Amino acid sequence: MAEVIDLKGRKSKERRIAEGRDRRRAQAVASALSCGLCPRRCAHCGQAVEFVAAPPAEMPYPFCEVCQEEYQAFRRLEKGGEPEAFWHTPQWAGTWRNWLAYMQANQEFRGSPAFLKLMEEHLD
């Protein structure tokens, strides 16, 4: 028993470590969701977008030219059109439906009081 263990100091250090971890997690969530709809990046693939003209009004998100064409092909297929490429399969359409649902869920969370509080507390 030559050495006394400082329990208050240990608990304080553990608390600081946990607070730092929580802060980093909150900042990561806030950053990912607040930057997720940058108008200069394609919402689907993340490439930089250079608009020569304004995107069509029916586009729910900013898309690069290729993703915009794919989204429009998906919408035509959903309305009963024919597949335009060999990869326009039910699974391909499912990825678009799931991605759109994911984006909608993100949008709903961005409008929630919890997200607003997160932004106030963790983004300086």
Q: pTM, whole model, 2 decimals? A: 0.73
* pLDDT score for 120: 79
* pLDDT score for 35: 65
* pLDDT score for 122: 67
Q: What one-character-per-residue DSSP string does 55-94 give?
A: PPTT-SS---HHHHHHHHHHHHHHTTPPPSSTT-SHHHHH
- CB-neighbour burial class of residue 84 (10 A; exposed 0-12, middle 13-18, buried 19+): middle
Q: How far apart are CA 75 and CA 69, in angstroms?
A: 10
Q: How far apart are CA 47 and CA 37, in angstroms?
A: 12
* pLDDT score for 34: 67
10-residue averages of pLDDT along the chain (124 residues): 66 77 79 71 86 74 91 95 95 97 90 85 65
